Structure 1
Amino acid sequence: MTTADTIFALASGAGRAAVAVLRLSGPDSGAVLDRLAGRRPEPRRATLRPLRDGTGEVLDRALVLWFPGPASFTGEDSAELHLHGGRAVIAAVSAALTAAGARPAEPGEFSRRAFLHGKLDLTAAEGIAELVEAETEAQRRQALQQAGGALGRLAAGWAGRLTRLLAQNEAAIEFAEEDLPSELGDAVRAGAATLAAEIRHALAEDGGRGERLREGLQVAILGAPNVGKSSLLNALVGRDAAIVSARAGTTRDVVEARTVLAGVPAVLADTAGLRDAAEEIEAEGIRRARHRGEAADIVLAVFAADAPPDPDTLALLARRDCVAVANRCDLATPAPLHGDQPPLAVSARTGDGMAALRARLEAEAASRAGDGGLLTRPRHRAALEEAARWLAEAGEAPVAELVSEALRQASRALGRLTGAVGVEAVLDAVFREFCIGK
Structure 2
Amino acid sequence: MIPTIFAPATAPGRGGVAIVRVSGPDAATALTSLGGRPLPEPRAAAVVRLSDPRDGEFLDQGLALWFPAPRSFTGEDVVEFHVHGGRAVVAGLIDALASLPGFRIAEPGEFSRRGFENGKFDLTAAEAIADLVDAETSAQRRQALRQMEGDLGRLYEDWRHRLMRGLAHLEADIDFPDEDLPDGVADQVRPVLEALIGELSAHLNDKHRGERLRDGIHIAIVGAPNAGKSSLLNALARREAAIVSERAGTTRDVVETHLDLGGYPVVLADTAGLREAADEIESEGIRRALDRAARADLKLAVFDAVTLPDLDAKTLAIVDDDTLVVLNKCDRAAVTLEVIGGRPVLAVSAVTGQGLPELLSALTAAVITRFEAPGVPALTRARHRTALEECRAALQRALLAPLPELAAEDVRIGIRALGRITGRVDVEDLLDVIFRDFCIGK
Q: Is the 8 A contact 2:203 2:379 kept in 1?
A: no
2:332 is matched with which residue? 331
- What one-letter code is carried by the residue in structure 1 that aligns with 2:97? L
What is the SS of the residue equivalent to 2:325?
strand
Q: Is the 8 A contact 1:263 1:370 kept in 2?
A: no
Listed as ranges, the matches of 1:253-402 within 5 Å are 253-307=253-307, 308-317=310-319, 319-332=320-333, 333-335=335-337, 340-371=342-373, 373-402=377-406
- Alpha-carbon distance in structure 2 between the residues aligned to 1:228 and 1:299: 15
Q: Deviations over 1:390-415 (max 9, x none)?
A: 22322332321012101100101101
Stretch of structure 1 that moved more, 38-47 or 120-129: 38-47
Runs of 4+ residues deviating >6 angstroms: none
Q: Does 1:44 align with 2:35?
A: no
Q: Deviations over 1:161-214 (max 9, x none)?
A: 11111111111111101121221010012222222222223333x442211211
Q: Is the 8 A contact 1:189 1:396 kept in 2?
A: no
TM-score by length of 1: 0.95
Identity %: 56
- Alpha-carbon distance in structure 2 between the residues aligned to 1:140 and 1:314: 37
* Deviation at residue 377 of structure 1 after TM alignment: 1.1
- Alpha-carbon distance in structure 1 between the residues aligned to 2:223 and 2:28: 65
Q: Deviations over 1:304-356 (max 9, x none)?
A: 11322222112112x33222211111222333556735522111122222122
Q: Deviations over 1:207-238 (max 9, x none)?
A: 42211211111111111111100111111111
Matched residue pairs, number? 434
- Alpha-carbon distance in structure 2 between the residues aligned to 1:112 and 1:342: 51
Q: Is the 8 A contact 1:304 1:326 kept in 2?
A: yes
Q: Does 1:129 align with 2:133?
A: no
Assess, with a 3 A threshold, how the Cα gap between structure 1 residues 134 and 196 changes in structure 2: closer, same or farther. Answer: same
* Deviation at residue 137 of structure 1 after TM alignment: 1.2
- Alpha-carbon distance in structure 2 between the residues aligned to 1:166 and 1:125: 29
Q: Is the 8 A contact 1:272 1:289 kept in 2?
A: yes
* Deviation at residue 28 of structure 1 after TM alignment: 1.9
Assess, with a 3 A threshold, how the Cα gap between structure 1 residues 334 and 425 changes in structure 2: closer, same or farther. Answer: farther
Assess, with a 3 A threshold, how the Cα gap between structure 1 residues 73 and 255 changes in structure 2: closer, same or farther. Answer: same
- Alpha-carbon distance in structure 2 between the residues aligned to 1:395 and 1:263: 43
Assess, with a 3 A threshold, how the Cα gap between structure 1 residues 218 and 398 changes in structure 2: closer, same or farther. Answer: same
- Alpha-carbon distance in structure 2 between the residues aligned to 1:342 and 1:138: 28
Q: Does 1:219 align with 2:232?
A: no
Assess, with a 3 A threshold, how the Cα gap between structure 1 residues 57 and 348 changes in structure 2: closer, same or farther. Answer: same
Q: Deviations over 1:217-267 (max 9, x none)?
A: 111111111110011111111122111111111112211111112221101
Q: Deviations over 1:15-40 (max 9, x none)?
A: 22221110011122122332212232
> Unaligned 5+ residue runs, structure 2?
none
Listed as ranges, the matches of 1:55-66 within 5 Å are 55-66=55-66
Q: Is the 8 A contact 2:160 2:418 kept in 1?
A: yes
2:13 is matched with which residue? 15
Q: Is the 8 A contact 2:251 2:273 kept in 1?
A: yes
Stretch of structure 1 that moved more, 330-339 or 154-163: 330-339
* Deviation at residue 422 of structure 1 after TM alignment: 4.0
What is the SS of the residue equivalent to 2:317?
helix
CA RMSD of aligned residues (A): 1.8
2:422 is matched with which residue? 418
What is the SS of the residue equivalent to 2:318?
helix
